Each structure stands twice: as structure tokens, then as C-alpha cells.
């Protein structure tokens, strides 16, 4: 079956910047620009990286019982949230697995904004349609683009053209205008750095992209560096580190399930997830690093004990330019998951000693208070 590849609104803009493209999540997406993956990664860590993430799904959920309805589908506590507050959560399934991970923003008593992964958005919409009753209105905002501005100098630079950015802290969002254009400005991102995501109508996206390109020390960043940036700071990628067969507890995401939901449940998969909170899990997500400090361990590599017993598998692996060495995430048996435990990876037919470590190889730098 031939599947049509979708194109970003800004594809010609990225082409003029010298982007190389790959197919991802059904879209033709920039993988890198002339600076290269390593250069883009390091520039984001020290200054500003710009990301076109318009493949992501943007959805509005509205209705008098919208919070209660959404709480049946995600384990996050939503009813306590204030307008403009963002929470990270997951759309869970009956088996406790994860259909997708997402950001939810409360706009007012009856209105919510959702940002979901591009590869999952149509399945997510079907899922929401199945479980939300007729009193809840769902709108897929297909005419919007999403651009992320990330890095330690993003706040100062973006505030020069959007003064409201200076007052936002991590996981806060506002509806505002820029250049007389309606936008949503959110203080969040997926690089581990301070930064923002800007939702804007596709007809005005290039005007914004040009303005952002002109910011001092800003560079456009493709999927290659976006992946290494999130992996270095221990952030999961759906389809690799999160799947329909992975629970939030196995993934180490218990922090995203607030106390009331852990006690009361009431969401899809709660029986499984709450039981895991109570008694523990058989496997867990960890970081893995090779003992030689130089050999990358790639996705799907099997992990064994020194005695040869298979105990897990790498789900994300590569090189961390800031960490300056190989980095990886894996799911392994709980009984071998203690930090510094020595395991063996099978790499190109050879055994490679490695050890368990924290999955955050580089410290996150979110601004949580001003």
C-alpha cells in the first residue's frame, strides 16, 4: 500500500536553508541542516535551537465535563489545574500500556488544549472519539504550525520580540498576539533546556520563522539533534521507550501521576498501573553506558548478565555530544536494575561490557520559578 507523505507548510523555507529530509511520522521532515547534527545539538545546549515540529497534533477539547472526561483517559490530575497550566501525561490503555504521551493545557473551566505525537495523532483522535461522549466537542487544529525555540539564551532572545515570554516559567502557557497574529506561547519543550513552543496559523508561520532565524545565535535543528538532545536528558521517545506494552510505572513516569489519581484511579488501565505502584514492576527503564566509554549501543541491542541470561533490550541508543560519549536507554529486569550493575551487550557479534546508570546523562535546565 502506498501511503502519501505529508509536507510541512515550511518545507520550501527549510529547503532554502539547506535542510536534508527524511520520512518521519508520515511527514517529510528535516533531519539536519548544514551545521550538522553535532553542531546543531551543541548550539542548542549553549545558545538557541529552532525546531519545526508542525507534524505534532494540536487538539482542543471543550465541554462542561471536559476535565472529568479526560481524567478517564489519562492518569494525570486535571481538575486541580489552573488556567494556563500545562501537564505532561499519557493516554493509557486497558492493559496499562501507553497509546501516546502528550501535553495538556487548561485554558478555562471547560476548555483544554492537547499536543500529541505526530505519528500517533490520528489513532489518538479515534481513541478520543471512542471514549468522549457527545457532550464533549473535539477539534483537530490542522491549520496550525508549531515551532520550538530552545536553549539557555532562548528566553532573553525570544522576549525581545515577544515580551510575554519573559514572565512564563516551565509548564505555563498563554494565548496572546505577535505582530497582530494570534498565537499560543508555551514554556515547554523536549530538549531538557529552557525554551518555548509557539503555535501559529500556517499562513503566518513563515513570517515567524524568518523572524526567529534572525535571532542572534539561533540555528535551525533537525530530527537528528532533536533525538540526541532528548536522549541525553532522559526524555522518552514514543515508539521506542514508550509503547502500547509499556506502562508509565515501568517507564519511570510515576511523577506524572499525582497523588489523587494514584489513590482513586478511575482511568483506563488504572487497575494495572495502581497495582504496579503498590507492589512494584518486573522491569524498569534505565540508562546504559559502555564500560569502554566509546562504543555506541544501538536500539534493539540485547542485554545479558555476565552469565549469559537475557535481561533486557536497548530502546534508544546513540552518541551524546554534550555528554561526549555513548548514551542509551533500556528496559531491563528489576533484579539487575541497580545503578552500577554490570551487564553485557551484544554489539556486531561481540560482547561489550556495560553498566546501568541514571537515564539522565545531562542535567535538565528548566526555569520553574522567576
Roughly what angle, to the nearest 10 degrees, separates helices 223-232 and 36-46? Answer: 50
Nearest to 48 by CA among 225, 180, 227, 233: 225
Beta bridge partners of 106: 112
For the stretch 112-131, pLDDT in tens is 999 999 999 999 999 999 99
Averaged pLDDT score across all residues of the chain = 97
CA distance 8 to 336: 44
Given a cut of 80, whether residue 3 has pLDDT beyond it is: no
Enclosing H/E stretch for 297: none
What does the alpha-carbon distance between residue 178 and residue 196 come to, in Å, rounded to a whole number?
Answer: 14
The residue-averaged pLDDT of 233-255 equals 98
Q: What angle do CA 361, 362, 364 make, to 5 degrees?
A: 130
CB 9 within 8 A of CB 205: yes
2 has a pLDDT exceeding 60: no
Q: Are residues 142 and 148 in contact, defined by beta-carbon separation less than 8 angstroms?
A: no
Strand partners, 27: 6, 24
- Helix or strand run (H / E) with residue 285: strand 283-290
- In order, the DSSP letters of 316-363 are EEEEETTTTEEEEEEEEEGGG-STT-EEEEEETTEEEEEEEE-S-SS-
Question: Residue 61 has what DSSP assignment?
Answer: E
Alpha helices in 233-300 (DSSP H): 259-264, 270-279
Straight-line distance from the first to the last Cα atom of the chain, in angstroms, rounded to the nearest whole number: 52
Per the DSSP assignment, residues forming a β-bridge with 105 are: 86, 113
Hey, what's the torsion of the CAs at 22, 233, 77, 144, to 10 degrees?
Answer: -30
What local confidence, expressed as pLDDT, does residue 1 receive? 40
Calculate mean pLDDT across residues 250-264: 98
Q: Please tell me the distance from the alpha carbon of residue 25 to that of residue 226, in angstroms, as a whole number.
A: 14
Cα(273)–Cα(94) distance, integer angstroms: 10
Mean pLDDT value across residues 49-77: 98
pLDDT interval class at 31 (50, 70, 90):
very high
Which of 272, 206, 274, 219 has its CA nearest to residue 245?
272
Domain boundaries, the chain: 282-357
Neighbours of 291 (CB within 10 A): 14
Residue 95 φ/ψ region, left for φ over 0, alpha for ψ in the -120 to 50 degree band, beta for the rest: alpha
Parallel, antiparallel, or unpaired: how do β-strands 20-24 and 6-7 relate?
unpaired
pLDDT-derived band at 348, boundaries 50, 70, 90: confident
Percent of the chain with pLDDT over 70: 99
pTM of the model: 0.97
**pLDDT tens-digit readout, 68-100:** 999 999 999 999 999 999 999 999 999 999 999
- Site of grid cell 528566553: 155
> Greatest CA span in the chain, whole angstroms?
65
3-state secondary structure of 74: coil
* Residue the block writes with cell 555530544: 321
Given a contact cutoff of 8 angstroms between Cβ atoms, the answer to whether 277 and 254 are in contact is: yes
Residue range 282-357 forms a domain whose CATH class is mainly beta
Q: Residue 24: its pLDDT value, please?
A: 96
Q: Is the pLDDT of residue 361 over 70?
A: yes
The rounded distance, in Å, linking the Cα atoms of 315 and 297 is 10
Cell digits for 306?
A: 555476565
Amino acid at each position: 500500500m502506498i501511503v502519501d507523505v505529508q509536507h510541512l507548510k515550511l518545507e520550501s523555507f527549510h529547503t532554502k536553508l539547506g535542510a536534508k529530509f527524511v520520512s518521519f511520522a508520515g511527514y517529510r521532515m528535516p533531519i539536519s541542516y548544514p551545521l550538522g547534527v553535532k553542531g546543531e545539538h551543541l548550539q542548542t545546549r549553549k545558545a538557541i535551537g529552532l525546531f519545526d515540529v508542525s507534524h505534532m497534533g494540536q487538539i482542543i477539547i471543550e465541554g462542561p465535563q471536559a476535565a472529568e472526561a479526560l481524567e478517564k483517559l489519562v492518569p494525570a490530575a486535571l481538575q486541580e489545574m489552573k488556567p494556563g497550566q500545562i501537564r505532561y501525561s499519557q493516554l493509557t490503555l486497558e492493559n496499562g500500556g501507553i497509546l501516546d504521551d502528550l501535553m495538556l493545557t487548561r485554558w478555562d473551566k471547560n476548555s483544554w488544549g492537547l499536543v500529541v505525537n505526530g505519528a500517533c495523532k490520528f489513532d489518538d483522535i479515534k481513541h478520543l472519539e471512542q471514549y468522549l461522549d457527545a457532550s464533549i466537542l473535539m477539534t483537530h487544529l490542522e491549520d496550525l504550525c508549531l515551532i520550538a525555540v530552545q536553549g539557555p539564551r532562548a528566553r532573553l532572545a525570544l522576549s525581545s520580540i515577544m515580551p510575554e515570554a519573559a514572565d512564563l516559567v516551565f509548564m505555563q502557557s498563554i494565548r496572546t498576539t505577535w505582530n497582530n497574529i494570534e498565537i499560543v506561547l508555551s514554556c515547554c519543550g523536549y530538549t531538557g533546556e529552557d525554551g518555548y513552543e509557539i503555535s501559529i496559523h500556517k499562513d503566518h508561520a513563515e513570517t515567524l520563522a524568518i523572524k526567529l532565524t534572525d535571532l542572534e545565535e539561533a540555528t535551525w535543528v533537525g530530527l537528528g539533534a532533536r533525538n540526541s538532545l532528548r536522549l541525553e536528558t532522559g526524555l522518552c521517545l514514543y515508539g521506542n521507550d514508550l509503547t502500547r506494552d509499556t506502562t508509565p510505572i515501568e517507564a519511570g513516569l510515576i511523577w506524572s501521576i499525582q497523588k489523587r489519581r494514584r489513590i482513586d484511579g478511575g482511568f483506563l488501565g488504572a487497575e494495572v498501573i495502581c497495582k504496579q505502584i503498590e507492589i512494584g514492576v518486573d522491569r524498569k527503564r534505565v540508562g546504559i553506558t559502555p564500560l569502554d566509554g566509546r562504543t555506541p549501543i544501538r536500539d534493539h541491542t540485547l542485554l545479558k548478565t555476565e552469565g549469559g541470561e537475557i535481561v533486557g533490550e536497548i530502546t534508544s541508543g546513540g552518541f551524546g555530544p554534550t555528554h561526549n560519549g555513548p548514551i542509551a536507554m533500556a528496559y531491563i529486569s528489576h533484579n539487575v536494575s541497580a545503578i552500577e550493575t554490570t551487564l553485557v551487550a551484544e554489539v556486531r557479534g561481540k560482547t561489550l561490557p556495560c553498566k546501568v546508570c541514571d537515564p539522565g546523562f545531562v542535567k535538565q535546565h528548566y526555569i520553574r520559578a522567576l
